[in-house]
Amino acid sequence: MSRAARIEVDWTRCDGHALCGLLLPENLANDADGFPLIHRAEVDPANLRHARRAVSACPALALRLERT
């Protein structure tokens, strides 16, 4: 059974690489400078694998998943 999770950004670490918006467009977009815009913090269980991939691909380690 999948548990609910939220995507969060550590703004002190984020450098605006723009990977997160590309890897998790269901939850994130990128602004003109490459910084993430969270349009939906709650991650659907069906997208949890994609969210984990985005978290692990972040070069600045600025993304994290928090269980709700």
Per-residue pLDDT of 21-58, as tens digits, reads: 999 999 999 999 999 999 999 999 999 999 999 999 99
- Mark residue 41 as left, alpha or beta (left: phi above 0; alpha: psi -120 to 50; beta: remaining): alpha
Look up the CATH number of the domain holding residue 25. 3.30.70.20
Task: Identify the pLDDT of residue 68.
Answer: 85
What pLDDT score was predicted for residue 36?
96
Q: What is the pLDDT of residue 1?
A: 43
**pLDDT score recorded for residue 2:** 59
Q: Which domain holds residue 23?
A: 5-67
